[in-house]
Amino acid sequence: MSGIDEVVEKAIRLSTPSQEERAGLRRVLGEAMSLLRDAAERLGVHVDIEVHGSVAHDTWLPGEKDIDIFLLFDPSLGRERIVSEGLMLAKMAFPRHIERYSEHPFITALYKGYRVDVVPAARIRKPSERLTAADRTPLHTAYLNRKLSDEARRHIRAFKMLLRSTGLYGAELRVGGFSGYLSELLILYYGSLQDLLRGASGWKPYKTFLSIEAPIRKAFNDPLVFIDPVDPGRNAAAALTLQRMSEFILLARLLLKKPKLDVFRGVGREIKKTVLLKLLGERGSDLVFIAFKPPQVPPDTLWGELYRSLRGVARLLENHGFKVPDMFAWTDERTLAVMGYEVSSTSLPPKVEVRGPPVWMGEGADSFISKHRHVWVRGDRLYAYKARKYTDVHDLLRSKILRASIGPDVREALKAGYAVLSGRSAVKWAFQRPDLYQRLVEFILKSPWWVELLA
């Protein structure tokens, strides 16, 4: 048995739920389903109540307490009625809940230590009949339960554990990684985690096309293409970003060369504040945070606006002479959002060189000379110095941030108030917030912890 085979076997054992966990899940799931059936009976609603996702596929991980329950209605009711009746039923069954939104509203309830998502959808026979994106999910479950062997399920769990530990799991916008469904399809395609790692080590972005059932008949402009066997017109890997695909290619290559079980465990690393500041100093950089309370919008909307705003503020900084080598966004989606920037400096000289027109450009040259006290020629152009309006990054951001290209909901949140922190103060402030500090460590160190472990 090779090194990678031994590590994968150990990872399979680590990623297999115990009989006690399985019994606990069955008990809670049974109770949740009963609550929904009782609510449907009281309301006189005709609906099929089914469990889907990793619980239905039996690919969930130890310690994972997420249950996806779908309320499947006759599609003839129409999208609006399906959603309204489904929400009414779900809220009656789980009075304590949070209403969330993906393509359409659903609820999340915390029930006996489990997170239960209840999603209204239409019962369809083929993808072309769908009214919402959620309608396709039961077709995925039926397909996977026909195709997956117990051995495949064991390898899927180990694969998901690897993805979670390395931050590559999750199709939501804030991650841009591997969805649960894509993870399952990849093991189904390659047969084992070892063979998936071997295959992925040879992937090339925008040149890797995978399919189990159907030939690829449609062009997709995505880094990785995996034809959905249930819906051949859909790329099941569409949410996977170039960044995450590239990280996984590197992970696969390094793990095959130097197999280590700790990569599956997610050992991470602890870095002192002084180390982060020293690294920034060695790069000749500084750090700037814009911190504010995030708008209360759906997570993908929030992250989309954060990324857009992050880029817009970076352009504002660059346009005023503050170079931005790198940037990141972070939010807990409830109380705090941060746009973070590595900048060349938080202060600039009071004057900046400006390039004027060619000396032979008559009126243009005369106008430039009249606007500047000291003018010189370099090559065939005029040059001069002019005073900067903003020499301090704090002053610029406090005065101009709302003029940057930022998302509408983020704009309103910034109008309500924001703080600008930099350097040592920003690092110290982040250190008091563990999740943000961990993101800051990743941002400043750049190299993922698993690269250092496997290199």
Say what the pTM is.
0.89
Residues 300 and 443 in one domain: yes
Is there a single domain that holds both residue 154 and residue 198?
Answer: yes
Instruction: Look over the chain and give the mean of its residue pLDDT values, rounded to a whole number.
Output: 94
428 and 415 within one domain: yes
- What gap in Å lies between CA 60 and CA 65, rounded to an integer? 9
Residue 186's domain spans which residues? 148-265
Looking at the fold, whether 206 and 126 belong to one and the same domain comes out as no
Q: Give domain status of residue 63, yes or no.
A: yes
Q: Is 11 part of any domain?
A: no
Residues 362 and 441 in one domain: no
- Residue 4 falls inside a structural domain: no
Q: Which of 215, 237, 265 is the last residue of a domain?
A: 265
Give the closest residue to 160 by CA, choosing from 12, 22, 305, 18. Answer: 12
pLDDT tens digits, residue range 227-278? Answer: 999 999 899 999 999 999 999 999 999 999 999 999 999 877 788 999 999 9
Using CA atoms, how far apart are residues 66 and 56, in angstroms rounded to an integer?
Answer: 11
Residues 343 and 220 in one domain: no
Q: Of 97-111, 294-308, 330-344, 390-404, which range is least confident?
A: 97-111
Q: 312 and 436 share a domain?
A: yes
Instruction: Report d(CA 328, CA 345) in Å as an integer.
Output: 17
Same domain, 411 and 364: no
pLDDT tens profile 357-386: 999 998 999 999 999 989 999 999 999 999
> Where among 265, 290, 325 does a domain terminate?
265
Query: Quick one: 236 and 117 in the same domain?
Result: no
Last residue of a domain, one of 265, 298, 319: 265
Residue 6 lies in a domain: no
Going by the DSSP 8-state scheme, the letter that residue 86 receives in this structure is H
Mean pLDDT, residues 50-75 taken together: 96
Both 232 and 331 in one domain: the answer is: no
Residues 190 and 327 in one domain: no
Asked if residue 5 is part of any domain, the answer here is no
Same domain membership, residue 293 and residue 238: no
The structural domain count of the chain equals: 4
Asked whether residue 159 is domain-assigned, the answer is: yes
Write the pLDDT tens digit of every residue in 318-327.
Answer: 999 999 999 9
Contact, 341 vs 324, CB < 8 A? yes
